[in-house]
Amino acid sequence: MPNSKKLEISGIYQRLWSEAIAAFERGEHKVDPHLSDKENDRRRGVTLICRPSPSVRDAVAGYINRLAEVCPGQYFYCPEELHITVLSIISGTEFWECEMPRFEACRPIIGEVLGRCRPFKIYFRGVTASADSVLIQGFPIGDGLGAIRNELRAAFASRGFGDMPDRRYKATTAHMTAMRFSKTCLDLKPLLSFLTASREMDFGETEVSTIQLIRGDWYGSADRVQTLQEYHLST
């Protein structure tokens, strides 16, 4: 990864951390209102994702188990749900079915772009947080992930679908969500201490050679994800 890009990603994680820690020190956090009635959450989206390697997945899963002891009763991602968003195609919405005809029209673009892309690596080190979640920090090694994202965006735009990707936010980092607040936490001090001690934890490295196109809910729940296609990056 070019040093400027690494600094940009590190800066994003640091900004999130500073804002979250200030909120936690005030005893404030944001509870996801949909998690109390997840069965009736009709939001769905279509996303390109990649998964961590087994060793990284297991390391993160072990960390999440300890996190659940420190801050029990929240929403924790199980190992098979851990993922990195490569690019959001249809952002999570209740009206996702209305978007599907346009998605099917532009779907061949994805295969065309990924068919000429090479595997890339992500290094996972440290944790950060936002007011509503805990995140595992991911740092792309080299510019492979960034190039894939930019090529996809350019290809979508050139075919008249430039308004589809990145509707919620422009994917820049390579983080994995580990926890979301699903209920009020009365004492955030233990969580704050645990996260502070984990700021530089080493979770390992993943080489990504497969990207999945999935349709799923807001959280990538294992029982709600449908893999639409897998793309194998050429070496």
pLDDT in tens, 14-25: 999 999 999 999
With cut-offs at 50, 70 and 90, classify the pLDDT of residue 28: very high
Q: Over the stretch 96-117, which tens digit does the pLDDT of each residue have?
A: 888 888 889 889 999 999 999 9
Instruction: Between 44 and 170, name the one with better pLDDT.
Output: 44
With cut-offs at 50, 70 and 90, classify the pLDDT of residue 162: low
Q: Is residue 34 part of a domain?
A: no
Domain hosting 70: range is 3-27+42-232
Provide the terminal-to-terminal Cα distance of the chain, rounded to the nearest Å: 19
**Upper half-sphere CA count for residue 106 (Cβ side, 13 Å):** 21
Q: Is residue 130 part of a domain?
A: yes
C-alpha closest to that of 123 among 209, 8, 204, 7 = 204
Q: Over the stretch 166-185, which tens digit does the pLDDT of each residue have?
A: 666 678 899 999 999 999 99
| Assigned token pair, 50 | 């990649």
Q: Is residue 87 part of a domain?
A: yes
- Identify the CATH number of the domain in which residue 151 sits: 3.90.1140.10
Q: Is residue 37 part of a domain?
A: no
Q: Is residue 36 part of a domain?
A: no
Domain count, the chain: 1
Q: Is residue 33 part of a domain?
A: no
Helix %, strand %, coil % for the chain, to 5?
Answer: 40, 30, 35
